[in-house]
């Protein structure tokens, strides 16, 4: 069983004082899957993700990521995952190349490997002209694509993307999803949160979170059928109205 699921979550809960941000959620993510983790702002997506990547201790419940327990093996989890946070988080005062070198370095990539990777990555993203520019000077869309590539630098088994397309124009969003597909094709498992319901259509399976609870979980097609809705947006509206 361990080998089929990239992530298993059971009754995972996080409370801040008396407020329950994540309320006993359970689900599984299969290897190589693109799993959409949907929900409105404040639903608890980021909090749930932070527990899975080992930077927030769960209040109760169980979860394994890449076969490792979130309570006891967070160091092992960290070696096997990539993470792109909701907030753009590369160093604005370093150049594109310096960012790549730095993050490659902290993941322990060899110098040769870093060189290969950054060459390939800069080519893929068409960043050749700006390789020596400070990241702060790039448009947001480019920054986001760069941040994703940096999260993938060490070829992790599972990549967690927290609202990767937030505030990005539609064309860049399309390109971004192409990158996600490419990664999935190469065997990476992708765990993606978003509050854009149209993006749910691109996922293999989606869960919809409302006020800390998972209210629906299936393929986009089944969800639309089940809720007799034409689009995922309608599914969401029906769920939100209760």
Partner 1 sequence: MKRFTGFVLKEFRHIFRDRRSLFILFGMPVAQIMLFGFAITNEINNVDLAILDRSKDDTTKEIINKIAASEYFSIEQFLDSESEIAPVFRKGKVKAVLYFEPDFGKKLIQPGRAKIQVVTDATDPNVASTVSNYIASILQSYQQETRRVVEPEYQVVSEVRMLYNPELKSVYMFVPGVMTVILMLVSAMMTSISITREKEQGTMEILLVSPLKPLQVILGKVFPYVFLSITNAVVIVVLSIFVFGVPVNGSLFLLALESILFIVTSLALGILISTISATQQTAMMVSLMGLMLPVILLSGFIFPISSMPLPLQLISHIVPAKWFIVIVKGIMLKGVGFAYLWKETLILAGMTLFFIGLSAKKYKIRLE
Ligand X SMILES: Nc1ncnc2c1ncn2[C@@H]1O[C@H](COP(=O)(O)OP(=O)(O)O)[C@@H](O)[C@H]1O
Enumerate the β-bridge partners of residue 14. Answer: 22
- If you write DSSP's letter for every residue of 25-74 in order, what string do you get? EEEEEETT-EEEEEE-TTSSHHHHHHHHTTSS--SEEEEEETTEETTT-H
Q: If you count them, how many residues does the chain have?
A: 242
Q: Does 74 bind Mg ion (CB under 5 A)?
A: no
Residue 233, by phi and psi: left (phi above 0), alpha (psi -120 to 50) or beta?
Answer: alpha
Q: Does 224 bind ligand X (CB under 6 A)?
A: no
Q: Does 15 bind partner 1 (CB under 8 A)?
A: no
- Alpha carbon distance 176, 145 (integer Å): 7
Total number of residues binding partner 1 (CB under 8 A)? 28
Q: Taking the CB of residue 205, how many other CB atoms lie within 10 A of it? A: 19
Nearer to partner 1, 86 or 157 (CB): 86
Q: Does 140 bind partner 1 (CB under 8 A)?
A: no
The footprint of ligand X on residues 38-67 (CB under 6 A) is 39, 41-47
Candidates 68, 103, 142, 202; binder of partner 1 (CB under 8 A) is 103
Q: Which residue has the tokens 């509050």?
A: 195
User: At closest approach, how far in Å is the CB of 215 from Mg ion?
Assistant: 17
* Encoded tokens for 18: 């008396």
Candidates 51, 56, 192, 216; binder of partner 1 (CB under 8 A) is 56
**Under a CB-based contact definition with an 8 Å cutoff, are residues 235 and 227 in contact?**
yes
Q: Which residues bind Mg ion (CB under 5 A)?
A: 45-46, 86
Q: Which residues bind ligand X (CB under 6 A)?
A: 16, 19, 21, 39, 41-47
Q: Which residues bind partner 1 (CB under 8 A)?
A: 53-57, 75, 78-79, 81, 83, 85-94, 98, 101-103, 105-108
């Amino acid at each position: 069983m361990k080998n089929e699921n990239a992530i298993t979550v059971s009754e995972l809960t996080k409370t801040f004082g008396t407020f329950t941000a994540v309320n006993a959620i359970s689900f599984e993510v299969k290897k190589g899957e693109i799993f959409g983790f949907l929900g409105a702002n404040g639903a608890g997506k980021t909090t749930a993700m932070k527990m899975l990547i080992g930077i927030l201790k769960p209040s109760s419940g169980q979860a394994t990521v890449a076969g490792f327990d979130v309570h006891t093996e967070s160091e092992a989890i960290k070696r096997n995952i990539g993470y792109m946070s909701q907030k753009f988080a590369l160093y604005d005062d370093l150049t594109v190349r310096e960012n790549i070198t730095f993050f490659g370095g902290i993941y322990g990539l060899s110098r040769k490997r870093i060189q290969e990777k950054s060459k390939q990555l800069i080519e893929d993203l068409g960043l050749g002209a700006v390789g020596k520019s400070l990241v702060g000077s790039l448009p947001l869309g480019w920054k986001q694509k760069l941040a994703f590539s940096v999260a993938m630098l060490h070829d992790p088994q599972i990549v967690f993307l927290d609202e990767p397309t937030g505030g990005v124009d539609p064309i860049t969003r399309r390109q971004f999803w192409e990158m996600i597909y490419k990664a999935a094709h190469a065997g990476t498992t992708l765990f993606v949160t978003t509050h854009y319901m149209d993006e749910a259509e691109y996922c293999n399976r989606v869960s919809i979170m409302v006020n800390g609870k998972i209210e629906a979980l299936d393929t986009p097609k089944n969800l639309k059928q089940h809720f007799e809705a034409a689009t995922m947006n309608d599914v969401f509206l029906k769920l939100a109205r209760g």
